């Protein structure tokens, strides 16, 4: 791509463009992690539809599921899977409640009893809540892109968590999260596409 | 007078003999172990439930737990303190286990469960490993992988597609797990962290418990280092130490106060420090002899006995007073005593008869008390009779006593005008009791907790820490006893069938069982036999996986694990060493009295009757369900009933003695009516004041009868024909004053035991004197 661009545009133009971008960046207030998190923190509730594709090393084909997500600041996050099976996962504060099976059976546990899961969930939740302190306690955080289209990359700091989760990528546009991808240490991968709920 | 001095034995041998006796008594009492444990409450032939109960309270794993709370800092500081304290205590030989919820300390548990999943899981049955069973298992695994809840279990599926690790884990996990603060147990608010320490010392080893408590405080001190962090300890051992300290402190403080008050009384009457001091000689000698007798016969002295020991002062101090207040008469102390001797002897005998019933009690605690009182009284009287005169100067001068004696005589004469009062009191008291008895079932408080001197604030603190740990005080437990470990584990497994059903039906939330961690060898062998050999398993697994998206060879770890489980040697307690579950196993399974005992504590029991019924329906006499609170209350009620029975026999014996000695019904009535009226009015008063009667009130009543019988006998015998009747009246008033003073002070104590005795005796003795005086014969 770059070579193609070079062919079509002389070096001077490229340099000029570079200066322009730089100038524009300097003129506009800098868009930083704090700005993103600040904006996300203003969102009190959100609803969305998701489709998730999980690729597991155990299985020879990916697993697909879909349903709805409900968020209520700062600590309540609910995932209602509709397909292939109805299931409900609720994170409220420190408690995780899973409701599955037919007839539905509820089971609750505390995040503290599942430290790996805790790191994963804190990453998501702290992003949604705009809580930079918590986020940076668990992850090295890199932000790419701009307000319109951003990508937040979270790399676990704790070695014990790294044995489990390699990386989390959250992308979004403005205050909407549009995707979450989780790479596990064993090669398993989950990609979730999120679209604002049409209501 | 000359006659008397000639007849008097030489002083020196008497004083020397007395000193040697005192020395020996003090030494043997001093060397006896002081016990405060509940075994004294246990009948000599306990029921199975009682034996288990007391054993648990004395030495059970629960009795060895100390809960440690730390507060007064931010979450990070608290968690750091928790980790540092856990590390320090884990190295201390005084503790067998320390837990603070750190994940690192739980990893060994999870590893062990995973490694032995096929021996431990109740899911290991032949059907589960058939082709159909495996197919169902693989479908479940798919389900799990499909679910968000399956996040992270993918790795487990390859090694354990039948889900045995999760099944075992779920059974071992209580419904409620503690919250965590920065990875250690604490409050959800993050303002408190909690640790759990198990002492090596048994629960009844109060010195050992005290040492463990010190060790925790010492280890915590450097962690505090200038911060506001504070530690609080609670648990059975902590309570035991506090209780002992409180009772010791209060008993010491009030005994000293009472002794001081009585000394002042003696001093103001006798106006001679030397005489006042000598007045205390019989009590002191009696107390020492009583303790020594108990130590020699029982090999230990129980705290309760010592508590009651104070009560001896009531009667024995009177002996000295009776003698001293007449010692200045013609003929000196010796002659004075000869005058008093028949009455005192009879008074002492009535007391001994009263206490003798206790001596024969089935409860060692009560017989200790009986022995203590009898030995103490006899010694005190003999000391008054033989030693005190030898210690006194030949000629005793009392100044100002004559005037006081005339006052006393006039008071008694005035009391005589109130002849009707004892009868009225008797009627009113009886009426009150009947009314109360009709309104309420029983005026007795049979809750052991009613005697507990543990302040409510401490109980609340204990509750708070237990609540944080999700470790409620266990009240119901299924106990399995047997000749061997295997036998009790099998018993625990058959009880588990009932308890599992109760859990299913919602009658029970959760139970623990040692057989979950250490299944019986029979069950382990059955599980091994349920596992197929390698070719069979491979074949069935391939069949089962048909149509499912599992990659080939994914389940190699599963096949290898099943094969090694088939060859594995049975689990043992050593399997769990280094895990926190070792503590649980140790607390639930232990050798006892040449056999073994397994405990299955129940938590969240919603239908105790149904579960108890089903356990009983097992028909195994070695498996029984125990309600610890009800059982200990019942035990105490039995103790109280026995004491009541003993008191009734004592009263009968005293009556018989009086009838034999006094001969005429009129005199018996004159001696007995004041006592009966005093006892009944005291009981009625206590009940009207809102007190529920306990064992200790009963003991107090017994004592006030013992003291009061002396008053009535004096009024009956001596006073009537005594030239120095006023003196006797004075000594009775003084004796009564000392009793009311001493016991009234004791009544102010916050320890229920001490205050119950104090109030009862003070009121009972005062009423006895009043009523006895009112009914006394005029000269």
pLDDT digits (tens, 9 = 90+) for B171-182: 887 666 678 888
Structural domain contains residue B7: yes
Distance from CA of B611 to the nearest CA of A (A): 25
What pLDDT is recorded for position B395? 74
Contacts of B147 in chain A (CB under 8 A): 81, 85, 87, 98, 100
Degrees to nearest 5, angle at CA B733 with B732 and B734: 90
> Rounded CA gap, A168 and A124, in Å?
9
pLDDT at B438 over 50: yes
Q: Say yes or no: A57 and A35 in one domain.
A: yes
Residue pairs spanning A and B at CB distance below 8 A:
68
pLDDT at B564 over 90: yes
Query: For the domain that residue B305 is a member of, what is the CATH number?
Result: 1.20.1640.10
More confident residue, B367 or B556: B556
What pLDDT is recorded for position B142? 85
Q: Which chain B residue's Cα is nearest to A54? A: B146
The answer to whether B149 contacts A100, with C-beta atoms less than 8 Å apart, is yes
The answer to whether A116 contacts B152, with C-beta atoms less than 8 Å apart, is yes
Cα-based torsion angle of the residue sequence B753, B756, B762, B768 in order, rounded to the nearest 10 degrees: -120
Is 0.80 surpassed by the pTM of this model?
A: no
Contacts of B152 in chain A (CB under 8 A): 114, 116-117, 164
Cis omega (within 30 of 0) on the bond before B640? no
What pLDDT is recorded for position B722? 64
Structural domain contains residue B342: yes
Residue numbers of the domain that contains A16: 1-29
Contacts of A69 in chain B (CB under 8 A): none
Structural domain contains residue A187: yes
Structural domain contains residue B10: yes
pLDDT-derived band at B354 (thresholds 50, 70, 90) equals confident
As a whole number, mean pLDDT of residues B247-251 equals: 75
Cis omega (within 30 of 0) on the bond before A103? yes
Structural domain contains residue A91: no
The answer to whether A100 contacts B551, with C-beta atoms less than 8 Å apart, is no
Please tell me the total count of domains within chain A.
Answer: 2
> Rounded CA gap, B254 and B256, in Å?
5
More confident residue, B250 or A158: A158
Structural domain contains residue B667: no
ipTM over 0.85 threshold: no
The answer to whether B145 contacts A56, with C-beta atoms less than 8 Å apart, is yes
Q: Say yes or no: A69 and A14 in one domain.
A: no
pLDDT-derived band at B2 (thresholds 50, 70, 90) equals very low
Please tell me the total count of domains within chain B.
Answer: 1
> Rounded CA gap, B425 and B428, in Å?
5
Q: Say yes or no: A47 and A22 in one domain.
A: no
Contacts of A190 in chain B (CB under 8 A): 151
Structural domain contains residue A108: no
Nearest-CB residue to B148 (from A79, A110, A115)? A79
CA distances from B690 to B67, B187, B288, B444 (A): 35, 39, 36, 12
Structural domain contains residue A96: no
pLDDT digits (tens, 9 = 90+) for B313-353: 667 778 888 888 877 777 777 777 787 888 888 888 888 88
The answer to whether B179 contacts A115, with C-beta atoms less than 8 Å apart, is no
As a whole number, mean pLDDT of residues B401-407 equals: 85
Residue A114 contacts B, CB cutoff 8 Å: yes
Structural domain contains residue A70: yes
Q: Say yes or no: A20 and A62 in one domain.
A: no
Residue A21 contacts B, CB cutoff 8 Å: no
> Rounded CA gap, B185 and B182, in Å?
8
pLDDT digits (tens, 9 = 90+) for A135-169: 998 899 999 988 889 999 999 998 888 888 899 99
Structural domain contains residue A166: yes
Q: Which chain B residue's Cα is nearest to A188? A: B154
Structural domain contains residue A112: no
Which range of A114-123, B624-633, B673-682 scores highest in mean pLDDT? It is: B673-682
The answer to whether A85 contacts B147, with C-beta atoms less than 8 Å apart, is yes
Contacts of B145 in chain A (CB under 8 A): 54, 56, 58-59, 63
pLDDT at B766 over 60: yes
Q: Say yes or no: A12 and A67 in one domain.
A: no
Q: In angstroms, how far is CA B709 from the centroid of its own chain?
A: 32
Residue A31 contacts B, CB cutoff 8 Å: no
As a whole number, mean pLDDT of residues A85-101 equals: 84
Contacts of A57 in chain B (CB under 8 A): 154, 551
Q: Say yes or no: A24 and A41 in one domain.
A: no
pLDDT-derived band at B133 (thresholds 50, 70, 90) equals very high
Residue A159 contacts B, CB cutoff 8 Å: no
Return the SS3 of B439.
Answer: helix
The answer to whether A94 contacts B188, with C-beta atoms less than 8 Å apart, is yes
Return the SS3 of B664.
Answer: coil
Structural domain contains residue B486: no
pLDDT digits (tens, 9 = 90+) for B417-434: 888 888 999 999 999 888
What pLDDT is recorded for position B307? 63
Q: Say yes or no: A163 and A187 in one domain.
A: yes
Cis omega (within 30 of 0) on the bond before B535? no
Structural domain contains residue B635: no
pLDDT-derived band at A24 (thresholds 50, 70, 90) equals very low
Cis omega (within 30 of 0) on the bond before A74? yes
Distance from CA of A39 to the nearest CA of B (A): 28
Residue numbers of the domain that contains B382: 1-31+276-399
- Could you say which DSSP state residue B328 is in? T
B18-22, B214-218, B330-334, B734-738: the lowest-pLDDT one: B330-334
Nearest-CB residue to A58 (from B157, B177, B183)? B157
pLDDT digits (tens, 9 = 90+) for B150-201: 666 777 888 999 989 988 988 887 666 678 888 788 888 889 999 989 888 8
pLDDT at A2 over 50: no
pLDDT at B310 over 70: no
> Rounded CA gap, B246 and B553, in Å?
69
Residue A65 contacts B, CB cutoff 8 Å: yes
As a whole number, mean pLDDT of residues B634-650 equals: 79
Nearest-CB residue to B179 (from A61, A94, A184)? A94
Q: What percent of chain B has pLDDT over 90?
A: 25
The answer to whether A63 contacts B149, with C-beta atoms less than 8 Å apart, is no
Query: For the domain that residue A127 is a member of, what is the CATH number?
Result: 2.50.20.10
Average pLDDT, chain B: 83
Structural domain contains residue A99: no
Structural domain contains residue B469: no
pLDDT-derived band at A50 (thresholds 50, 70, 90) equals very high
């Amino acid at each position: 791509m770059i070579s193609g661009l070079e062919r079509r545009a002389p070096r001077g133009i490229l340099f000029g463009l570079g200066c322009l971008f730089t100038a524009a960046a300097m003129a506009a207030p800098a868009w930083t992690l704090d700005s993103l998190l600040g904006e996300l923190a203003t969102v009190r509730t959100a609803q969305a539809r998701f489709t998730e594709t999980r690729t597991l090393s155990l299985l020879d084909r990916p697993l697909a599921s879909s349903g709805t997500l409900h968020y209520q600041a700062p600590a309540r996050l609910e995932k209602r899977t509709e397909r292939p099976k109805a299931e409900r996962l609720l994170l409220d504060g420190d408690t995780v409640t899973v409701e599955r099976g037919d007839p539905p059976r509820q089971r609750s546990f505390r995040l503290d009893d599942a430290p790996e899961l805790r790191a994963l969930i804190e990453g998501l939740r702290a992003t949604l809540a705009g809580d930079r302190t918590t986020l940076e306690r668990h992850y090295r955080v890199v932000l790419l892109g701009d307000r319109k289209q951003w990508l937040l990359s979270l790399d676990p700091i704790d070695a014990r968590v790294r044995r489990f989760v390699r990386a989390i990528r959250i992308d979004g546009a403005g205050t909407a999260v549009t995707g979450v991808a989780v790479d596990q240490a064993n090669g398993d991968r989950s990609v979730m596409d999120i679209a604002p709920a049409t209501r | 007078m000359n006659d008397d001095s000639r007849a008097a034995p030489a002083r020196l041998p008497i004083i020397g003999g007395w000193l040697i006796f005192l020395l020996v008594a003090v030494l043997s009492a001093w060397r006896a172990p002081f016990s405060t444990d509940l075994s004294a409450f246990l009948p000599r032939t306990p029921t199975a439930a009682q034996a288990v109960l007391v054993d648990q309270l004395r030495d059970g794993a629960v009795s060895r737990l100390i809960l440690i709370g730390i507060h007064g800092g931010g979450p990070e500081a608290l968690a750091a303190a928790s980790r540092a304290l856990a590390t320090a205590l884990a190295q201390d030989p005084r503790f067998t286990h320390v837990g603070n919820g750190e994940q690192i300390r739980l990893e060994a548990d999870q590893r062990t469960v995973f490694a032995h999943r096929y021996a431990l899981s109740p899911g290991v049955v032949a059907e589960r490993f058939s082709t159909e069973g495996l197919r169902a298992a693989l479908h479940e695994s798919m389900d799990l992988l499909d679910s968000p809840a399956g996040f992270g279990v993918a790795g487990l599926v390859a090694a354990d597609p039948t889900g045995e690790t999760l099944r075992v884990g779920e059974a071992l996990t209580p419904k409620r797990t503690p919250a965590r603060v920065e990875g250690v147990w604490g409050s959800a608010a993050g303002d408190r962290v909690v640790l759990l320490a198990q002492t090596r010392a048994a629960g009844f080893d109060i010195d050992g418990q005290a040492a463990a408590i010190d060790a925790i405080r010492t280890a915590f001190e450097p962690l505090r280092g200038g911060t506001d962090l504070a530690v609080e300890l609670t648990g059975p051992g902590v309570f035991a130490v506090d209780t002992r300290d409180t009772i010791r402190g209060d008993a010491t403080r009030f005994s000293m106060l009472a002794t001081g008050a009585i000394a002042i009384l003696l001093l103001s009457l006798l106006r001679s420090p030397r005489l006042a001091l000598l007045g205390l000689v019989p009590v002191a000698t009696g107390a020492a002899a009583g303790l020594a007798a108990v130590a020699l016969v029982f090999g230990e002295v129980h705290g309760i006995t010592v508590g009651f020991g104070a009560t001896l002062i009531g009667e024995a101090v009177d002996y000295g007073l009776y003698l001293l207040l007449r010692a200045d008469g013609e003929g000196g102390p010796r002659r004075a005593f000869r005058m008093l001797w028949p009455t005192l002897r009879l008074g002492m005998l009535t007391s001994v008869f009263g206490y003798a019933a206790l001596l024969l009690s089935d409860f060692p605690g009560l017989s200790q008390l009986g022995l203590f009182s009898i030995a103490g009284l006899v010694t005190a009287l003999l000391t008054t009779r033989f030693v005190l005169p030898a210690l006194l100067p030949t000629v005793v001068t009392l100044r100002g006593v004559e005037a006081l004696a005339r006052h006393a005589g006039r008071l008694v004469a005035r009391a005589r005008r109130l002849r009707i009062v004892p009868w009225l009191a008797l009627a009113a008291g009886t009426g009150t009791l009947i009314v109360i008895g009709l309104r309420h079932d029983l005026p007795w408080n049979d809750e052991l907790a009613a005697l507990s001197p543990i302040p409510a604030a401490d109980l609340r603190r204990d509750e708070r820490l237990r609540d944080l740990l999700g470790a409620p005080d266990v009240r119901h437990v299924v106990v399995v006893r047997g000749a061997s470990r295997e036998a009790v584990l099998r018993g625990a497994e058959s009880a588990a069938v009932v308890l599992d059903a109760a859990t299913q039906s919602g009658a029970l939330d959760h139970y623990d069982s040692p057989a979950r961690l250490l299944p019986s060898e029979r069950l382990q062998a059955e599980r091994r036999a349920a596992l197929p050999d390698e070719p069979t398993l491979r074949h069935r697994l391939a069949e089962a996986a048909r149509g499912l998206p599992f990659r080939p060879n994914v389940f190699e770890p599963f096949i290898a694990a099943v094969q090694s489980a088939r060859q594995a040697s049975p689990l043992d307690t050593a399997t769990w060493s280094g895990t926190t579950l070792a503590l649980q196993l140790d607390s639930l399974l232990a050798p006892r009295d040449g056999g073994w005992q397994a405990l299955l504590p129940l938590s969240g029991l919603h239908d105790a009757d149904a579960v108890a019924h089903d356990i009983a329906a097992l028909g195994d006499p070695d498996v029984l369900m125990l309600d610890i609170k009800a059982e200990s209350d019942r035990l105490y009620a039995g103790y109280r009933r026995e004491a009541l029975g003993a008191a009734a026999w004592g009263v009968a014996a005293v009556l018989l003695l009086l009838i034999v000695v006094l001969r005429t019904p009129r005199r018996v009535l004159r001696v007995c009516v004041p006592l009966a009226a005093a006892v009944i009015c005291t009981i009625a008063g206590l009940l009207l004041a809102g007190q529920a009667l306990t064992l200790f009130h009963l003991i107090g009543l017994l004592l006030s009868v013992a003291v009061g019988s002396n008053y009535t006998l004096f009024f009956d015998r001596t006073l009537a024909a005594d030239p120095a009747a006023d003196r006797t009246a004075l000594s009775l008033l003084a004796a009564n004053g000392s009793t009311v003073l001493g016991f009234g002070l004791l009544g102010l104590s916050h320890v229920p035991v001490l205050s119950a005795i104090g109030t009862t005796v003070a009121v009972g003795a005062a009423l006895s004197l009043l009523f006895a005086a009112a009914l006394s014969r005029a000269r």
